[in-house]
């Protein structure tokens, strides 16, 4: 069955989701997240798109972006996924597909402020919904620039956010309140297809897996982080983290 063509229109933003192949937790390592942020900076310099939202989870990434030209979206995503896959496979001493199949994207007009704000909030609520964070501040999402009005070096405010008030402080206050009202949707119960009903019997007795945010994998060794990569990542993290002293420890240890 042929793939459905993507909706590519001028004046539209795109909510992009990419997942690790087999949904493996290959993005838990701090260095991988630093490289991802640096790669986004390189992609912005290369293609000139606007990045409105970002959240790097343990096995997937959310972002909202607006290409300079609608037809640039496939080029941007191809380059991002290719570049990061090459980097991560080398860093983690692995082979094969790093990202799972085709990236998911949903488009909405920049003038659709309700859709835009709901999308931003959904992305920023991901760590909280996954019980990785108690609140919305998270080192690897750009919620912080909306709450504190900081500059993280790669993302910017969506027109929908700027419509919330007459001043930036008012926009931040209203978005903060809007996020606090968020209630994650209950996930549907798991269903088993034929043959899968035997699976619980097979795995019975094994240790229960830790939550995605706490998963630790047997990583291979890699070279120290490049200073240029660290500089870009540090600016992003410091602008968005909950506690700068704790977040800075990751960079001081390098």
Six-digit token string for 241: 């983290």
Q: How many angstroms separate the Cα of 152 from the Cα of each of 42, 61, 197, 233, 234?
A: 14, 18, 48, 9, 9
Q: d(Cα 238, Cα 248) in Å, to the nearest integer? A: 8
Rounded CA-CA distance 237/154 in Å is 11
Strands (E), 9-57: 12-19, 50-56
Q: What is the pLDDT of residue 41?
A: 97
Q: What is the CATH number of the domain that holds 203?
A: 3.30.70.1290
162/71 Cα distance (integer angstroms): 26
| 215 assigned to some structural domain | yes
Query: What range does the domain containing 34 cover?
Result: 12-252
Q: 60: which strand partners?
A: 19
Name the pTM for this structure.
0.84
Tokens 């931003």 — which residue? 120
Rounded-to-integer distance, Cα 77 and Cα 43, Å: 9
Instruction: Identify any residues that bridge with 19 across adjacent strands, giving them in sequence order.
Output: 60
Residue 206 CB contacts under 8 Å (≥ 6 apart), including other chains: none
pLDDT of residue 226: 80
Report if residue 4 sits inside a domain: no
> Residue 37 domain-assigned?
yes
Residue 153 and residue 232 in contact, taking contact as beta carbons nearer than 8 Å: yes
- Structurally, the chain folds into a number of domains equal to 1
Give domain status of residue 63, yes or no: yes
Sheet holding 60-66, edge to edge: 50-56, 60-66, 12-19, 104-109
Q: Is residue 75 part of a domain?
A: yes
The segments of the chain whose pLDDT lies below 70 read 1-5, 186-225, 253-254
6 is a domain residue: no
- Taking a C-beta distance cutoff of 8 angstroms, is the pair 157, 145 a contact? yes
How far is it, in rounded angstroms, from Cα 246 to Cα 238? 10
For residues 79 and 67, what is the distance between their CA atoms, to the nearest angstrom?
13
Does residue 2 sit within a domain?
A: no
132 in a structural domain? yes
């Amino acid at each position: 069955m042929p793939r459905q063509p993507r909706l590519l229109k001028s004046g539209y933003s795109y909510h992009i989701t990419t997942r690790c192949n087999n949904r493996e937790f290959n993005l838990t390592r701090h260095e991988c997240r630093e490289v991802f942020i640096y790669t986004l900076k390189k992609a912005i310099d290369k293609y000139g798109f606007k990045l409105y939202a970002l959240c790097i989870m343990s096995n997937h990434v959310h972002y909202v972006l607006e290409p300079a030209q609608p037809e640039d979206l496939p080029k941007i995503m191809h380059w991002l996924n290719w570049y990061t896959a090459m980097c991560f496979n080398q860093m983690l001493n692995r082979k094969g597909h790093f990202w799972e199949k085709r990236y998911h994207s949903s488009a909405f007009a920049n003038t659709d402020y309700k859709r835009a704000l709901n999308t931003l909030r959904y992305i920023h609520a991901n760590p909280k919904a996954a019980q990785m964070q108690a609140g919305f501040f998270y080192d690897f999402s750009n919620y912080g620039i909306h709450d504190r009005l900081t500059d993280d070096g790669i993302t910017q405010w969506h027109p929908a956010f700027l419509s919330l008030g007459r001043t930036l402080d008012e926009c931040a206050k209203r978005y903060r309140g809007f996020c606090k009202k968020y209630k994650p949707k209950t996930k549907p119960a798991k269903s088993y297809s034929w043959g899968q009903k035997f699976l619980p019997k097979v795995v019975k007795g094994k240790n229960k897996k830790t939550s995605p945010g706490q998963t630790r994998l047997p990583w291979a060794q890699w070279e120290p982080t490049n200073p240029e990569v660290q500089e870009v990542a540090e600016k992003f993290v410091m602008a968005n983290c909950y506690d700068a002293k704790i977040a800075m420890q990751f960079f001081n240890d390098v």
